[in-house]
Amino acid sequence: MGRNVAIVGATGAVGVELLRVLEAREFPLDALRLLASPRSAGRRLRFRGEELPVELLGPRSFDGCSLAFFSAGAGVSRAWAPRAVEAGAVVVDNSSAFRYEPDVPLVVPEVNAEAVLGHRGIVANPNCTTILLLVVLAPLHARAGVRRCVVATYQAASGAGAQAVRELEDQSRALLAGEEPRPERFPRPLAFNLFPHVDSFLPEEGFATREEMKVVWEARKILGVPDLALVCTCVRVPVFRAHSEAVFLQFERPLSLEEARSALSQAPGVRVVDDPEAAEYPTPRLAEGGDEVLVGRLRVDPSCERGLCLFLAGDQVRKGAALNAVQIAELLA
Amino acid sequence: MGRNVAIVGATGAVGVELLRVLEAREFPLDALRLLASPRSAGRRLRFRGEELPVELLGPRSFDGCSLAFFSAGAGVSRAWAPRAVEAGAVVVDNSSAFRYEPDVPLVVPEVNAEAVLGHRGIVANPNCTTILLLVVLAPLHARAGVRRCVVATYQAASGAGAQAVRELEDQSRALLAGEEPRPERFPRPLAFNLFPHVDSFLPEEGFATREEMKVVWEARKILGVPDLALVCTCVRVPVFRAHSEAVFLQFERPLSLEEARSALSQAPGVRVVDDPEAAEYPTPRLAEGGDEVLVGRLRVDPSCERGLCLFLAGDQVRKGAALNAVQIAELLA
């Protein structure tokens, strides 16, 4: 019996990247079924030299399927992921639909690979901002225990989807031509601007955004520290694809700069880019298209005891979404 | 006897803005002398309906001058400000040349106006990132005492001068046309990118940048708290003109969210823009061209005791430089 894989939301930014990552990693599969909404069904996408049709997502879509990637938003996941599980597939869900359910593992393979073992049909892929942070945070936490973590993000347009990337491009052209940019997907113009507003505001969380709380909730679950002290301000910036984060850490136990650097140098999925005098540090352009989370600007934070500052950048579509999902699928196999 | 005013560096981004601010505030003066390097001397700039010539900065430039604004870099200030003082002028210096000298007042008029009284001919204008932060920080510090302040910045191209603004524009056009952007003034491409590198790296400060340390050194001097715990990561972003800052505060004494909001609402130079549900919060576009520092995203930081998060944006060229300098001159008058 062959291994049949489905991708729900195949034509989106993450869906397209999933195809590339499955190809590049030579993921073992016998058949690939691409699924989408009526708007995108009928298109064709290239995979391993063939043009595969994009089919309409429907009741028979998961027949004979052993693995399904979901990347079409929380609503689609809520409606269809349980049906894929019923049909016998294991679901790797890129949406936030099931992330906070106690019996759904939330996995960053470099951090808590063992958590997949407990799945009951669905494994959740964390939020992109969380994944990038945790790949860097986990090896430091293992050495010295994170007491508190403060994060300010610099998030690319890609986090809001392929249309948002085009909106940034269109707005930028308009503004350079002396016209007023028109926000469509974004609440404010993004071209040559930025705003502290990613996802919706949550009155019940003191008007933190859902994106900010995702980082808190998910970091706690993945690290297994239910009261982890973490605060985050999430900001959308006029960058196309990779996210960056300024991070300020305090540890429980002493951790020298050399120990931190050594831990990060050995950590899977991390690349230390930290030679200030050669102007080498993480930037979104450098991170774009790569599998690793780049970390640099490592320095002691003299404003608190056992403090460390760092700056990281990672491809939001790749390690922040598609690559992490495929890594989860590899763990399952 | 009339009041003769000189501007050194009149053709730069801040120089041009100084002219606008002096006009807009109807600053009392009888004659205005515009001074610049050989590269810019000979040009003409409009002021109060007249075309004023830009003269070459030289030994007689300050004869009869009672007030001189310097905005042509630390080297020019070091060489010429003492000569302006000798000639009888009071100097308001926008460079970092004298900021850290104990007998030179460093002034944000909304925060420490009284400090100008002790001047000996030179008053220093703080760094733009510091000014914007302190206008917001000071009223909160007065109420509850800042125990620790963590800042991540989002700094516009204008902070690196008028040429840097053009470089961002040129790079953006190139990139949208499918060409590679060429960095000239910046260490890395800035179009649709960002980098944690503003000013030079300081090995003696653990490779913090000079910009990051300016915020620390200047905040301590202006607030009169020599050991203020403050840490800052400064990041250049592809925005033309206004700076933004994500700020995470811890206080010595309790301060409710309502008290913080009330203190900021009453603070001079501050405008609270904080209605998340209407997508109202500070952005660089909203701050551009304005006199006030915008503050919003006010919320309790649950990751520490007596913590408060906020996000601010202010016009880096205006309140971050030219306006603050003119306000200092108004205090002197």
Is the Cβ pair B235, A229 closer than 8 Å?
A: no
- Chain B residues lying within 8 Å of A187, measured CB to CB: 279
Provide the 8-state DSSP code for B218. H
Chain A contact for B147 (CB, 8 A cutoff): no
Please name the member of A192, A240, A311 whose beta carbon is closest to the beta carbon of B239: A192
Please name the member of A152, A173, A188 whose beta carbon is closest to the beta carbon of B176: A173
Q: Report the alpha-carbon distance of residue B8 to residue B69 in Å, rounded.
A: 6
* Distance to chain B for A145, nearest Cα, Å: 15
Instruction: Render pLDDT for A61-77 as a digit per residue (tens, 0 to 9).
Output: 999 999 999 999 999 99
Is the Cβ pair A281, B207 closer than 8 Å?
A: no
Long-range CB contacts (< 8 A, 24+ apart) of A166-172? A168/A238, A168/A240, A168/B192, A169/A240, A169/B176, A172/A238, A172/B172, A172/B176, A172/B192
Q: What is the pLDDT of residue B65?
A: 97
Instruction: Render pLDDT for A87-122 as a digit per residue (tens, 0 to 9).
Output: 999 999 999 999 999 999 999 999 999 999 999 999
Amino acid at B311: F
Please name the member of A176, A188, A231 whose beta carbon is closest to the beta carbon of B283: A188
Please name the member of A150, A197, A303 whose beta carbon is closest to the beta carbon of B281: A197
> Residue B175: how many CA atoms within 13 Å on its side-chain side?
24
Reduced to 3 states (helix: H, G, I; strand: E, B; else coil), residue B34 is: strand
- Terminal C-alpha separation, chain A: 15
* Distance to chain A for B251, nearest Cα, Å: 14
Residue with tokens 């004494």: B253
- Cβ within 8 Å of residue B277, ≥6 positions away: A201, A203
Identified catalytic residue from A65, A119, A128, A149 = A128
Instruction: Render pLDDT for B64-91 as a digit per residue (tens, 0 to 9).
Output: 999 999 999 999 999 999 999 999 999 9
* Distance to chain B for A283, nearest Cα, Å: 5
Instruction: Render pLDDT for A202-229 as a digit per residue (tens, 0 to 9).
Output: 999 999 999 999 999 999 999 999 999 9
CATH superfamily of B4-126+322-332: NAD(P)-binding Rossmann-like Domain (3.40.50.720)
Chain B contact for A246 (CB, 8 A cutoff): yes
Whether residue A1 is predicted with pLDDT greater than 50 in this model: the reply is no
Q: What is the pLDDT of residue A333?
A: 86
- Cβ within 8 Å of residue A174, ≥6 positions away: A180, A181, A182, A191
User: Which residue in B has a C-alpha nearest to residue A312's C-alpha?
Assistant: B196
Q: What value does the mean pLDDT take over residues B201-216?
A: 97
Mean residue pLDDT of chain B comes to 96
Instruction: Render pLDDT for B220-256 as a digit per residue (tens, 0 to 9).
Output: 999 999 999 999 999 999 999 999 999 999 999 999 9
Whether B30 contacts B67, CB under 8 Å: no
Q: What is the pLDDT of residue B1?
A: 46
Whether B100 contacts B119, CB under 8 Å: no
Q: Under the phi-then-psi rule, with left for phi > 0, alpha for psi from -120 to 50, and beta for the rest, what region is A4?
A: beta
Provide the pairing of β-strand A242-251 with B146-154. Answer: unpaired
Instruction: Please report, for residues A72, A153, A162, A186, the alpha-carbon distance to residue A171 in angstroms, rounded to integers and kept in the order given.
Output: 25, 22, 14, 11
Question: What residues of chain B, 311 to 330, have a C-beta less than 8 Å from chain A?
Answer: 311
Provide the pairing of β-strand B44-47 with B50-56. Answer: antiparallel
Whether B24 contacts B16, CB under 8 Å: no
Is the Cβ pair B237, A154 closer than 8 Å?
A: yes
Is the Cβ pair B233, A311 closer than 8 Å?
A: yes
Q: Report the alpha-carbon distance of residue A195 to residue A217 in Å, rounded.
A: 22
Give the best residue of A148, A154, A171, A192 to mutate against chain B (max B CB count within 10 A). A192
Chain A contact for B299 (CB, 8 A cutoff): yes
Q: What is the pLDDT of residue B2?
A: 63
Q: What value does the mean pLDDT take over residues A291-304?
A: 98
Q: What is the pLDDT of residue A2?
A: 63
For A294-329, give one letter per residue: b (16+ CB within 10 A) or e.
Answer: bbbbbbbbebbebbbbbbbbbbbbbbbbbbbbbbbb
- Chain A residues lying within 8 Å of B201, measured CB to CB: 276-277
Residue with tokens 């803005």: B17
Verify whether residue A243 is a known catalytic residue. yes
Provide the pairing of β-strand B293-300 with B307-315. Answer: antiparallel
Q: Mind giving me the DSSP string for B266-294?
A: HSTTEEE--BGGGTB---HHHHTT-SSEE
Question: What residues of chain A, 155 to 174, have a C-beta less than 8 Å from chain B?
Answer: 168-169, 172-173
Q: What is the pLDDT of residue B183?
A: 85
> Residue B257: how many CA atoms within 13 Å on its side-chain side?
13
User: Which residue in B has a C-alpha nearest to residue A227's C-alpha?
Assistant: B303
Could you give the residue numbers annotated as active site of B? 128, 243
- Chain A residues lying within 8 Å of B281, measured CB to CB: 195-197
Is the Cβ pair B196, A296 closer than 8 Å?
A: yes
User: Which residue in A has a C-alpha nearest to residue B257's C-alpha?
Assistant: A206
Reduced to 3 states (helix: H, G, I; strand: E, B; else coil), residue B163 is: helix
Nearest in space to A283 (alpha carbons), one of B176, B183, B311: B183
- Chain A residues lying within 8 Å of B296, measured CB to CB: 196
- Chain B residues lying within 8 Å of A210, measured CB to CB: none
User: Which residue in A has a C-alpha nearest to residue B175's C-alpha?
Assistant: A169
List alpha helices for B102-161, DSSP H.
109-112, 128-144
Which CATH architecture does the domain made up of A4-125+321-332 adopt? 3-Layer(aba) Sandwich (3.40)
ipTM score of complex: 0.96
User: Which residue in A has a C-alpha nearest to residue B157's C-alpha?
Assistant: A192
pLDDT tier at B181 (50, 70, 90 boundaries)?
confident
Residue with tokens 């300024």: A246
Is the Cβ pair A194, B244 closer than 8 Å?
A: yes
Please name the member of A231, A257, A285 whose beta carbon is closest to the beta carbon of B248: A231
Q: Tally A–B CB contacts below 8 A.
A: 163
Please name the member of A169, A283, A303 whose beta carbon is closest to the beta carbon of B148: A303
* Sign of the CA dihedral with A289 first, then A292, A293, and A298 last: negative
Provide the pairing of β-strand A4-8 with A67-70. Answer: parallel
Is the Cβ pair A233, B246 closer than 8 Å?
A: yes
Mean residue pLDDT of chain A comes to 96
Nearest in space to A73 (alpha carbons), one of A92, A105, A95: A95
Instruction: Render pLDDT for A142-181 as a digit per residue (tens, 0 to 9).
Output: 999 999 999 999 999 999 998 999 999 999 999 999 998 8
Q: Report the alpha-carbon distance of residue B175 to residue A198 in Å, rounded.
A: 25
Q: What is the pLDDT of residue B74?
A: 96
Rounded to the nearest 5 degrees, what angle is found at the Cα of B75, between the Cα atoms of B70 and B76? 40
CATH no. for B130-316: 3.30.360.10
Please state the pTM of the whole predicted model. Answer: 0.97
Is the Cβ pair B154, A194 closer than 8 Å?
A: yes
CA-only gyration radius of chain B, Å: 20
Nearest in space to B208 (alpha carbons), one of A300, A130, A223: A300
Chain A contact for B193 (CB, 8 A cutoff): yes
Q: Mind giving me the DSSP string for A144-185?
A: H-EEEEEEEEEB-GGGG-HHHHHHHHHHHHHHHTTPPP--SS
Instruction: Render pLDDT for B88-105 as a digit per residue (tens, 0 to 9).
Output: 999 999 999 999 999 999
Is the Cβ pair A173, B169 closer than 8 Å?
A: no
Q: What are the boundaries of each domain within chain B?
A: 4-126+322-332, 130-316
Is the Cβ pair A277, B173 closer than 8 Å?
A: no
Chain B contact for A239 (CB, 8 A cutoff): yes
User: Which residue in B has a C-alpha nearest to residue A235's C-alpha?
Assistant: B246
For B246-260, give one letter per residue: b (16+ CB within 10 A) or e.
Answer: bbbbbbeeebeeeeb
**Cβ atoms < 10 Å from Cβ of B121:** 16
Largest CA distance in chain B: 60
- Cβ within 8 Å of residue B79, ≥6 positions away: none
- Chain B residues lying within 8 Å of A149, measured CB to CB: 303
Please name the member of A193, A197, A239 whose beta carbon is closest to the beta carbon of B194: A239
- Chain A residues lying within 8 Å of B246, measured CB to CB: 152, 196, 233, 235, 246
Chain A contact for B148 (CB, 8 A cutoff): yes
Whether B250 contacts B309, CB under 8 Å: no
Chain B contact for A225 (CB, 8 A cutoff): no
